[in-house]
């Protein structure tokens, strides 16, 4: 009798355990972001890892991408603008890898509507973003969210883009699109998702940085709003971030006491986010969601032969184009020199910008001062024959030139802001480290912020007047508030910026730079020596 009782108890326990296990579904989410045209060994390694995980987990695996793929390398430039009759390489690659959901980044919009529309139309899986809005209708241009079903589990994925993104480039590039406030969009669409879809799991796929819950980034570029939204708008189980290129995992407790897990896969295929989600439903159908996160470096995986076969025909075509020779550089130049003073790297950009702003359609307005920064701190142009791809490496992002009206006091404030970024946060992004040409000035490194810039004169020796208006040439990203130099630094509103804008080039900066160098044939780049540290 005792044995029979024990047998009944054991069978009952096993039945409960089996029932428990049968109600639990284990999912895996993989996230990439900010690939920026990377097609090398890192992407090959990630492709092999993705394919292995898909084979292992089957339909229990969800693959997401957080945007910023269509700018950054000679290869993707070729795919965007030269190899236009072929299927775009990112469409082909993402379809082959069976991505489930994609959200656009700001650099994906900057390539122009003609390019990104082609790419996204060729992709087989949904592209989602709730706050990229059609100006004419006020409705989202992309699907705001999508719903996936995996073994009885309902997963909603909501896309968002960092604010102000379309303010950084002109209307002829972005078309009739504007990026609206992401918090408002999140609040609106999370409510709809919860009422209409009632998902078991809600994932935020944000092209935005992480930030924190207590200090909303109010700068115009607002790169870090992920945690703020995750905390203040309840309902998310997982938020996948991007934009700021930082590989990271963590979690927070939102305003109603629920845990929200967060990941960022970094950039340039260096890492991939891996999230394990266990979903257990009770008798009423309510889901208990448990999440574990990690970020895995691509260097842990070998290259993947099938990827190499897929990518080779494209790379062969790209190589033939991008190795076309343009001119001869007589001496190597390095972007890192611009961190320490007047440099050949940046000063040639100043020369090109000032020349462009005083010729052709710009000659009516003209410009006497130039602002420019390096794209990154460790770029190199090696002495020898420069090819098309070298100019894309030096200037990886699509951008035009703009002339802006500023008075002398505003120019000083602009430079104070730029050098505060450079001196007080030297490990910050180099693309915010602007310098000027057209004026002689000194930077007092040891002075407190706001008291470092002393302008001696104009470059031609004439006096610099802090009360006088000047025409200043800079890239359009900066002229439209990118980096906060004109807004946070100078104090201009977005409306002010529109009123100050005098001219925008039709030709991108990279093409102007390449054409100028090609006309010279043999080139030796030298500093202007318009400024130095004291």
Specify the 3-state DSSP secondary structure of 231.
helix
Instruction: Take residue 33 and report the two structure tokens written for it.
Output: 């972001």
Which among 151, 191, 157, 190 is positioned nearest to 278, based on CA atoms?
Answer: 151
Averaged confidence pLDDT in the chain: 91
* Tens-place pLDDT, residues 194-226: 999 999 999 999 999 888 887 776 554 556 889
Q: Which among 69, 125, 65, 54 has a CA at the least distance from the CA of 95?
A: 125
The DSSP code for 127 is B
Please name each of the domains of the chain with its CATH number: 25-316 (3.60.21.10), 325-533 (3.90.780.10)
d(CA 235, CA 195): 11
Provide the β-strand partners of residue 403. 473, 503
pLDDT at 164: 66
491 SS3 class = coil
The 3-state secondary structure of 314-356 reads HHHHHHHHHCCEEEEECCCEEHHHHHCCCCHHHHHHHHHHHHH
**Residue 327 confidence (pLDDT):** 96
* pLDDT at residue 16, as a whole number: 35
Q: Comparing C-alpha atoms, which of 122, 228, 131 is closest to residue 180?
A: 131
The 3-state DSSP class for residue 521 equals coil
| Whole-angstrom distance, CA of residue 421 vs CA of residue 219 | 14
Question: In tens digits, what is the pLDDT along the chain, a chain of 534 residues?
Answer: 433 333 333 333 333 333 344 579 999 999 999 999 999 999 999 999 999 999 999 999 999 999 999 999 999 999 999 999 999 999 999 999 999 999 999 999 988 899 999 999 999 999 999 999 998 999 999 999 999 999 999 999 999 998 766 566 666 666 788 888 899 999 999 999 999 999 999 999 999 988 888 777 655 455 688 999 999 999 999 999 999 899 999 999 999 999 999 999 999 999 999 999 999 988 777 889 999 999 999 999 999 999 999 999 999 999 999 999 999 999 999 999 999 999 999 999 999 999 999 999 899 999 999 999 999 999 999 999 999 999 988 998 878 999 999 999 999 999 999 999 999 999 888 999 999 999 999 999 999 999 999 999 999 999 999 999 999 999 998 998 888 999 999 999 988 998 999 999 988 899 999 999 999 999 999 999 999 999
Closest residue by Cα to residue 318 from 373, 387, 254:
387
Q: Are 72 and 396 in contact (CB under 8 A)?
A: yes
Q: Tell me, what's the pLDDT at 480?
A: 87
| pLDDT score, position 11 | 34
pLDDT at 287: 86
DSSP 127-174: BB-SSEEETTT-SBSSBSEEEEEETTEEEEEEEEE-TTGGGGS-HHHH
Q: Which residues does residue 476 pair with via DSSP β-bridges, in sequence order?
A: none
Report the alpha-carbon distance of residue 480 to residue 220 in Å, rounded: 10
């Amino acid at each position: 009798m005792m044995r029979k009782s024990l047998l009944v108890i054991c069978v009952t326990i096993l039945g409960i355990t089996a029932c428990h296990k049968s109600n639990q579904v284990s999912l895996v989410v993989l996230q990439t972001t900010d690939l920026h045209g990377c097609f090398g060994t890192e992407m090959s390694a990630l492709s092999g890892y993705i394919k292995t995980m898909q084979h292992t987990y089957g339909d229990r695996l969800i693959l997401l991408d957080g945007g910023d793929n269509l700018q950054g390398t000679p290869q993707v430039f070729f795919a965007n603008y030269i190899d236009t009759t072929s299927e775009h390489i990112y469409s082909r690659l993402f379809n082959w890898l069976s991505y489930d959901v994609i959200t656009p980044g700001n650099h994906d919009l900057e390539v122009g509507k003609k390019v990104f529309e082609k790419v996204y139309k060729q992709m087989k899986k949904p592209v989602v973003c709730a706050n990229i809005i059609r100006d004419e209708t006020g409705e989202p241009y992309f699907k705001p969210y999508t719903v996936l079903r995996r073994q009885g589990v309902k997963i909603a994925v909501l896309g968002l883009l960092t604010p102000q993104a379309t303010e950084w480039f002109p209307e002829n590039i972005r078309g009739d699109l504007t990026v609206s406030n992401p918090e408002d969009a999140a609040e609106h669409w999370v409510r709809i998702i919860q009422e209409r879809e009632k998902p078991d799991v809600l994932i935020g796929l944000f092209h935005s940085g992480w930030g924190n819950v207590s200090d909303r980034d109010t700068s115009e570029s607002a790169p870090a709003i992920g945690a703020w939204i995750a905390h203040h708008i309840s309902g998310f189980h997982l938020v996948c971030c991007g934009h700021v290129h930082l590989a990271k995992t963590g979690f927070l407790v939102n305003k109603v006491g629920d845990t929200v897990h967060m990941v960022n896969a970094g950039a340039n295929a260096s890492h991939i986010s891996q999230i394990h989600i266990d979903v257990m439903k009770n008798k009423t159908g309510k889901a208990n969601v448990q999440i574990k996160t990690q970020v895995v470096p691509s260097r842990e995986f070998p290259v993947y032969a099938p990827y190499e076969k897929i990518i080779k025909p494209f790379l062969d075509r790209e190589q033939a184009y991008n190795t076309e020779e343009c001119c001869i550089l007589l001496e190597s130049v390095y972007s890192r020199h611009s961190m320490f003073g007047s440099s050949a790297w940046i000063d040639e950009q100043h020369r090109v910008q000032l020349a462009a702003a005083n010729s052709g359609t710009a000659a009516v307005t003209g410009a006497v001062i130039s602002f420019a920064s390096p794209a990154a701190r460790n770029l190199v142009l090696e002495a020898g024959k420069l090819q098309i791809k070298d100019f894309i490496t030096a200037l990886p992002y699509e951008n035009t030139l703009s002339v802006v009206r500023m008075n002398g006091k505003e120019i000083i404030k602009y430079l104070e802001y730029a050098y505060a970024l450079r001196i007080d946060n030297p490990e910050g992004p180099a693309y915010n480290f602007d310098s000027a040409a057209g004026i002689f000035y000194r930077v007092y490194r040891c002075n407190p912020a706001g008291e470092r810039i002393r302008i001696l004169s104009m470059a031609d020796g004439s006096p610099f007047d802090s009360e006088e208006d000047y025409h200043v040439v800079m890239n359009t990203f900066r002229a439209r508030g990118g980096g906060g130099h004109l807004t946070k630094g100078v104090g201009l509103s977005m409306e002010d910026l529109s009123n100050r804008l005098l001219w925008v080039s039709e030709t991108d900066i990279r093409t102007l730079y390449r054409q100028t160098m090609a006309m010279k044939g043999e080139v030796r780049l030298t500093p202007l020596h318009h400024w130095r540290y004291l």
